[in-house]
């Protein structure tokens, strides 16, 4: 078990209702280990007070991520860092939450509410398809598209999300800066609230992205935030008769 600093009373807020102090961190760790790091339980605990929220950010969300995607987390930390860009809580949310879109927002599309997803596959191999050839030494994990079918005039939409390894040192970030990419004027990353770059405005979306997604070539758009979180939307190609019948 990882070493934890024991704290017994709330030191963050005078208005906290936990006037008699808290259980020590070792006990809370063991309880959530038995719950298999349930994300809903972690989120509920975070709302109790600032002390619990701090514990969840430092320990519980990290253990959730390591349990949900162990190989991916091991790779993201293989550079020697004990943390990830944008916090463990942001990464935990990215693993289980499809952000959807708001009309007039990032994708100026129909209203598709965000929602939790039971399980999503993230692939480092798929991530290569979303990078220009000169940037393919970067490491990017991308999810399979979350399908939202029959969205009116927009057709069948797919939402995908991803995470860069060591984004601050990536070739993608250097190219965005070199090309003078501008941040979106109003929207922020739904996972960490950082500013967002549009990859299509800087002509950094390769044709291979639409092939990987199974979408129309000119209907793929995605953003990357300062912490390396990627979120995107595409219009999916219709299924063939043989695929639809399976």
- Span 22-33, pLDDT tens digits: 677 888 999 999
Buried/exposed 208-241: b ≥16 CB within 10 Å, e otherwise? bbbebbbbeeebbbbbbbbbbbbbbbbbbbeeee
pLDDT of residue 150: 77
Buried/exposed 134-144: b ≥16 CB within 10 Å, e otherwise? ebbebbbbbbe
Mean pLDDT of the chain: 86
- Span 141-176, pLDDT tens digits: 999 999 998 777 778 899 999 999 999 999 999 999
Q: Which residues of the chain have pLDDT under 70?
A: 1-22, 79-83, 85-86, 239-246
- Span 57-76, pLDDT tens digits: 989 999 999 999 999 999 99
Does the CA dihedral 54-55-60-65 come out positive or negative? Answer: positive
pLDDT of residue 69: 94
Residue 83, C-beta contacts closer than 8 angstroms, at least 6 positions apart? none
**CA end-to-end span of the chain, whole Å?**
46
Predicted model pTM: 0.85
């Amino acid at each position: 078990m990882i070493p934890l600093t024991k704290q017994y009373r709330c030191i963050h807020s005078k208005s906290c209702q936990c006037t008699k102090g808290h259980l020590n961190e070792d006990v809370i760790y063991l309880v959530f280990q038995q719950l298999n790091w349930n994300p809903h339980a972690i989120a509920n605990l975070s709302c109790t007070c600032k002390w619990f929220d701090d514990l969840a950010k430092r320990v519980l969300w990290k253990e959730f991520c390591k349990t949900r995607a162990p190989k991916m987390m091991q790779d993201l930390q293989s550079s020697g860092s004990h943390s990830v860009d944008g916090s463990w809580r942001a990464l935990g949310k990215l693993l289980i939450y499809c952000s959807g879109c708001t009309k007039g927002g990032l994708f100026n599309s129909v209203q598709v509410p965000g929602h939790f997803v039971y399980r999503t596959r993230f692939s480092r191999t798929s991530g290569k398809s979303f990078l220009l050839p000169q940037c393919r030494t970067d490491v990017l994990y991308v999810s399979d598209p979350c399908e939202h079918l029959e969205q009116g005039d927009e057709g069948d939409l797919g939402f995908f999300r991803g995470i860069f390894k060591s984004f601050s040192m990536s070739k993608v970030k250097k190219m965005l800066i070199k090309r003078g990419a501008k941040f979106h004027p109003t929207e922020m990353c739904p996972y960490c609230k950082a500013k967002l770059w549009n990859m299509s405005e800087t002509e950094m979306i390769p044709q291979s992205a639409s092939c990987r997604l199974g979408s129309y070539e000119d209907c793929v758009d995605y953003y990357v935030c300062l912490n390396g979180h990627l979120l995107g939307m595409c219009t999916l190609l219709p299924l063939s008769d043989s695929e639809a019948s399976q």
